[in-house]
Structure formats: C-alpha cells, structure tokens
C-alpha cells in the first residue's frame, strides 16, 4: 500500500489542512453513497458539487476555493488538465482521477472515484 496521502504534509498551512479535511469529508460521503463521480461547477458566485451515479445527479453542497486549490495541488494539475490522487476513504484505498474542463467559460472539475483492488464488471 502506498503512503497514506490523507495525512497533510508538514508544510501545509492551516487553510490547506482544513481544505483537505473538507475534501476527504465530501469524497467519503460520495463513496458511502456509492457515487461514481463528483462534479464541481460554478453557479453564480458559488462552486457547487454534485454527485453522479450513472445518469442521475444531485447537488450536494458548495465548496471553497481552498478546497479546489487543494485538489489541484494533490492531483498535480498545473498546465495539464488531468491528474490523479490516491486517498483512503472509509478505510478503503481509492484512486481519484481529476479532470478540469471548461464549463461555460469557467473552470469545472470532475473527480472520478475508483476503489483500488476492486474488480470491475465487464
């Protein structure tokens, strides 16, 4: 098993650590609900997250810019628009694929959860 990426790095400041805890909380709620992906889009001045399970989606809550910065840092998204992070969610190891895309002129994000070591049905 890889090092626990759920532990904030020593150089993380308080805002980063709080943002990371919020990210874990949101992703654990999604994993618990059996959600396949988490989307994040702007609506007015709020960054909304929504859960997707197949073709069904529901708005879950709003996120702060610090959480988005934490996602970009941990998934190593810079000039590229895709990245990955490995996290422990609900005691299970997950690979989280992050994709940034243009949502009506604003950056939007999709985080796809995949439990590691779990076989997918063919």
Residue 3 lies in a domain: no
- Read off the DSSP letter of residue 116: T
CATH of the domain at 49: 3.30.450.90
Residue 9 lies in a domain: no
Residue 8 lies in a domain: no
Residue 7 lies in a domain: no
pLDDT digits (tens, 9 = 90+) for 7-36: 555 455 788 889 999 889 888 888 888 888
Range of the domain at 43: 14-115
Residue 51 lies in a domain: yes
Contact, 90 vs 32, CB < 8 A? yes
pTM above 0.75, yes or no: no
Give the contacts of 60 (CB within 8 A, at least 6 positions apart). Answer: 26, 29, 30, 38, 48, 49, 50, 51
pLDDT digits (tens, 9 = 90+) for 59-107: 556 677 888 889 889 999 877 889 999 999 999 999 999 998 887 777 7
Q: How many domains does one find in the chain?
A: 1
* 3-state SS assignment for residue 86: strand
């Amino acid at each position: 098993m890889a090092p626990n990426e759920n532990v904030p790095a020593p150089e993380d400041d308080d805002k980063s650590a709080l943002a990371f805890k919020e990210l874990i909380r949101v992703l654990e709620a999604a994993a618990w609900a059996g959600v396949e992906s988490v989307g994040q889009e702007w609506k007015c001045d709020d960054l909304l997250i929504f859960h997707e399970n197949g073709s069904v989606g529901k708005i879950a809550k709003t996120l702060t810019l610090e959480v988005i910065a934490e996602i970009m840092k941990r998934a190593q998204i810079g000039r590229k628009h895709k990245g990955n992070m490995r996290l422990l969610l609900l005691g299970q190891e997950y690979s989280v694929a992050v994709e940034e895309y243009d949502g009506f002129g604003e950056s939007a994000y999709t985080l796809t959860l995949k439990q590691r070591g779990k076989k997918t049905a063919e």
